[in-house]
Amino acid sequence: MMKHPPEGIDQGRRALLGVAVGVTTAVVAPGLVLHAAALPSAAPPGAQRSGPVTDRVRWGLLIDTSKCAEGCRACVDACDRENGLDLQTRPAGQSGRAWADQKAVWIRKVKLADDLTGRVTNLPMMCQHCEHPPCVDVCPTGASFKRADGIVLVDRHTCIGCRYCMMACPYQARSFIHEVTHDQLTRVPRGKGCVESCNLCVSRRDQGAPSTACADACADAGHHAIVFGDLKDPRSAISQALTGLPNRQLREDLELNTGVRYAGV
Amino acid sequence: MARTLISAVLAALALVGALAAQVVLAGDAQGYVKAGSRAAAHGACVEPTQYMRRHHMDLIQHQRDATVYQGIRGTRHSLAGCIDCHVGPGSDGHPVAVNAEHQFCRSCHEFAAVKVNCFDCHDGVPKGGPLSESAQSALDAATQQGRGRGNADGSVRSAREGQGQ
Amino acid sequence: MKRIVYREWRIPPARYWGILGILAAVVGLGGLAALYLEHEGHWVTGMSNSVVWGVPHVFAVFLILAASGAINVASVGTVFNKGAYLPLGRLSGLLAVALLIGGLLILVLDLGRPDRLLVAMTHYNFRSIFAWNIYLYTGFVVLVIAYLWSMADRMGAPFKQSIGVLAFVWRLALTTATGSIFGFLVARQAFDTAFLAPMFVIMSLAYGLAIFLLVLIFSCAQDARPIGDLLLQRLKNLLGVFVAAVLYFTLVYYLTKLYGAKNYDLVGWVLLRGGIYSFTAWVGWVLLGTLVPLGIIWHPVLGRDRRWIVAACALVILGGFAALYVILIGSQVYPLQIFPGHTVVASGVVDGLRAGVAHYHPSVPEVLLGLGGVAVALVITAVGVRVLQFLPESLADPEASAPVGSGALRRFSIDEISPG
Ligand code: SF4
Ligand code: SF4
């Protein structure tokens, strides 16, 4: 093991990243130079983040409901596996129906019928990563917070489990952990008595992975209904798709400026 | 008179007690590191042992806030790093949680009579890695693409390599 | 003016300890329920990701409202200078503190992480009404204790008026803020209205006074202390006004909700199609909790009968629980309207965002937790009146009391013998 050079590793990493960025920008395209200069800490794919997240990016999702298939649960299953939600066990003695409403759900499939035309729409719903999140406004301890890059998440270390955020969320996106947890994944610690919700695969973000589990799974299943990306980068896939496709926020009357957008509802 | 005597005796007792505790702590700590864990193979922790004994919680908490609020994920001072290194094998060879009885965290914390809250949420054995398999392969593909575009020196490290410190 | 003599509650020890024993048993059960909840997690309750606040919150909100209502009697005495209410000030203050502590205890013990109370005290998000409430509640307790001191101690007398006014303003702020906890929830149709805050103030007046009357009548009857008919008439008429005001506010609340067309469905559901919630609204809240007690209070004969007045108070309290049950839980059970103009046909395979209303069945532990909080409030009150001088010796009407002179000479005032 290394002998504690307190700054050594970080400095090493920073230097390494600098080289990486330099090499990439020099070799690839002039367009990227600007981009990289403007986004010093938007790490290139594959790099673990070394500096704090900045607000030069804002992560978001676009759901194209016309591509979302009925009966498909690929995104839900992928989310469960990614975040260890498939490891939840129903407490002995709890009825299945009660448990269904108590277990944590970060993403869910919803099937809608238009009241007039009867047209059926399928879509996944998760935390909408509001720019003005009501959950953050109401949280008494500040445990609910919005990261600089637009991801809304719960600091499980300061959450007291009052569930006020769940009352405030217009999308019923949050879950309360109702039972003692076991066998959590290292990348997703979770424990009884705190609130949690979709965090746009925050550990993937910090490790430099390109997308979210749900978006990857949807693409792998051949549907491509979920696009993930940086809303602030006009050249990102999601920004391009957003300009090409009529889309809207759910409950736009609340003016929360959500980071998740829907096309075709 | 009597009072000064009593205070002197009390002070002396306290001193002896404190010294004894130090000695016991120093002696026992060696025994807390589990045979078969990666920590046992290393001569030193990420910081000097004496420092870690007193301040590991500050380091972990500092890293915790950096990770939660700023997205900085180093394992050097992270709880995940501690668990990774200190988890020891059970008789069946499977890892035993660091907070299980007689294991590294638990035995020392029991001795010091300090409650640990970490394991309310964190599991005591490493599981799943910093990235899921699907994320890793997506990442590898992206890195490959990056290389394909001329970043051939491989200077962009994959996340998994980044964890190996 | 007639000197008011306060005395400790002097019921026979056997009865006192009997009462205390029963209350302590309920407190104990509540404590066990809290431990069970803390150990197992909230899956042992009926609460879920859809109905996140359940029966404990109904109890807690009720007690907190009643607390700020109970102090009202003292306010009427000092702030508005109604001499007849002056002797009731101390009991009113004690009850306010007791009810508030009971309510807060429930709230805290229902937290997912009650062990992190310290976090709640050290991390504040000042945008959160909830965080403000923590200040308002503790401030209220401190103020009321100061108020009690100013009422009981000579040295405090000069401050009585100003502390009284402050306490009055504070309690208005407190109830408004409690109402705002819900009123600011834009996400929930039933809550999204600033109207909830004033409505909660009115409710607090009614429920606080009802509890105050019950405690007053009970404790005086146990100790054979007279309560003048005139005083009781005043109090019960006041209760009538408050209950009628709640009814009025309820009507306006639903009518203003109806004004926005998008809420037709919600109001229709609560009032007609909501099953147990419609039943609770009509039978519990409106009929038993409002109309029947109003009938009793304003009935020429029944309204003069103490037992009927007690019944009216009990019904008002019952109605309060029913009202809060409908407001708090009914509004969570009713689905969020995320897709206007669409019907949610199905949602997931097994999860929350339901096609239709959610289910909530309160479990035994959460009910016990709520009752435990009520019992804590009553224990504080019982012990308080027993060991300190909260209750006036006599509340007989001025005409009926013994002529000043003989009586006042024989009994010396407590104020005189105990300055502290
Ligand atoms: S969708 Fe809900 S949980 Fe997510 S940021 Fe908005 S209010 Fe918060
Ligand atoms: S449950 Fe946790 S995150 Fe939600 S409002 Fe309460 S303290 Fe904040």
pLDDT classification of B151: cutoffs 50, 70, 90: very low
Nearest CA to ligand 1 atom 2: A169
Residue B15 belongs to a domain: no
Q: Is the pLDDT of residue C306 over 80?
A: yes
What's residue B140's pLDDT? 86
What's residue C307's pLDDT? 94
Number of domains in chain C: 1
What's residue A2's pLDDT? 37
Total residues belonging to chain C: 420
- Mark yes or no for CB contact A162/C359 under 8 Å: no
pTM over 0.80: yes
Per mean pLDDT, which range of A88-102, B135-149, C83-97 is the poorest? B135-149
**φ and ψ of A220, to 5 deg:** -60, -35
Cβ of A151 less than 6 Å from ligand 1? no
Residue C306 belongs to a domain: yes
Q: What is the mean pLDDT of residues A174-180?
A: 96
Q: What is the mean pLDDT of chain C?
A: 87
Residue A232 belongs to a domain: yes
Residue A18 belongs to a domain: no
Residue B44 CA: distances (Å) to CA of A9, A202, A226, B56, B74? 16, 32, 47, 14, 18
**φ and ψ of A154, to 5 deg:** -110, 130
Looking at chain C, which residue has its C-alpha nearest residue A265?
C339
Provide the 3-class DSSP secondary structure of residue C351: coil
C186-211 pLDDT tens trace: 778 888 777 888 889 999 999 999 99
Q: Which class for C84: exposed (0-12), middle (13-18), buried (19 or more C-beta within 10 A)?
A: middle
Domain that holds residue A185: 59-263
Both tokens assigned to A81: 């596996």
Between the CA of A90 and the centroid of ligand 2 the distance, in Å, is 23
pLDDT classification of B2: cutoffs 50, 70, 90: low
Residue C410 contacts A, CB cutoff 8 Å: no
Both tokens assigned to B77: 């001072």
Cβ of A197 less than 6 Å from ligand 1? yes
Residue B122 belongs to a domain: yes
Residue C28 belongs to a domain: yes
CATH number of the domain encompassing residue A72: 3.30.70.20
What's residue C286's pLDDT? 94
C319-352 pLDDT tens trace: 999 999 999 999 899 888 888 888 888 775 444 4
Residue A4 belongs to a domain: no
Residues 6+ apart with CB under 8 A from A217: A74, A75, A77, A78, B134
Residue B4 belongs to a domain: no
Q: Is the pLDDT of residue C2 over 80?
A: no
Residue B137 belongs to a domain: no
Q: Which residue from A160, A175, A192, A196 has its CB within 8 A of the most atoms of ligand 2, so it is best to mutate? A: A160
Per mean pLDDT, which range of A130-134, A259-263, C213-217, C340-344 is the poorest? C340-344
CATH number of the domain encompassing residue C235: 1.20.1630.10
What does the alpha-carbon distance between residue C146 and residue C155 come to, in Å, rounded to a whole number? 12
Number of domains in chain A: 1
Residue C307 contacts A, CB cutoff 8 Å: no
User: What residues of chain B, 59 to 78, have a C-beta less than 8 Å from chain A?
Assistant: 64, 66-74, 76
What's residue C160's pLDDT? 85
Q: What is the mean pLDDT of residues B54-66?
A: 94
Q: Is the pLDDT of residue B14 over 70?
A: no
C39-81 pLDDT tens trace: 999 999 999 999 999 999 999 999 999 999 999 888 888 878 7
Residues 6+ apart with CB under 8 A from C294: C240, C243, C244, C247
- C interface test, pick of A99, A112, A139 with most C CB neighbours within 10 Å: A112
Consecutive H or E run containing C74: helix C55-78
Number of domains in chain B: 1
Q: What is the mean pLDDT of residues B63-87?
A: 91
Closest listed residue to residue A13, CA positions, set B72, C347, B10: B72
Residue C261 contacts A, CB cutoff 8 Å: no
Q: Is the pLDDT of residue C401 over 50?
A: no
Both tokens assigned to A184: 């959590």
Share of chain C above pLDDT 90, in %: 51
Q: Is the pLDDT of residue B23 over 90?
A: no
Residue C412 belongs to a domain: no
Total residues belonging to chain B: 165
Both tokens assigned to C338: 């995320």
Residue A89 contacts C, CB cutoff 8 Å: no
- B interface test, pick of A10, A19, A207 with most B CB neighbours within 10 Å: A207
Nearest ligand to residue C42 Cα: 2
Domain that holds residue B64: 25-126
Q: Which residue from A164, A169, A258 has its CB within 8 A of the most atoms of ligand 1, so it is best to mutate? A: A169
Subunits with 3+ Cβ pairs within 8 Å of C are A
Angle at which helices C89-109 and C55-78 cross, to 10°: 160
CA A220 to chain centre: 18
Higher per-residue pLDDT: A142 or C255: A142
What does the alpha-carbon distance between residue C320 and residue C180 come to, in Å, rounded to a whole number? 18
Closest listed residue to residue A18, CA positions, set A46, A49, A40: A40
Per mean pLDDT, which range of A152-161, B144-153, C58-67 is the poorest? B144-153
Residue C121 belongs to a domain: yes
**φ and ψ of A61, to 5 deg:** -130, 150
- Mark yes or no for CB contact B70/A23 under 8 Å: no
Residue A15 belongs to a domain: no
Residue C230 belongs to a domain: yes
What's residue B163's pLDDT? 37
Looking at chain A, which residue has its C-alpha nearest residue B117?
A157
Q: Is the pLDDT of residue A82 over 50?
A: yes
Cβ of A130 less than 6 Å from ligand 1? yes
Residue B55 belongs to a domain: yes
Q: Which residue do the tokens 């790099």 mark?
A: A47
For B158, what's the count of Cα atoms within 13 Å in the CB-facing half-sphere?
Answer: 18
Residue A9 belongs to a domain: no
Closest listed residue to residue C206, CA positions, set C157, C270, C250: C250
Residue A96 belongs to a domain: yes
Between the CA of A38 and the centroid of ligand 2 the distance, in Å, is 35
What does the alpha-carbon distance between residue A10 and residue C236 come to, in Å, rounded to a whole number? 73
Residue C357 contacts A, CB cutoff 8 Å: no
Atom of ligand 2 nearest to the CA of C112: 1
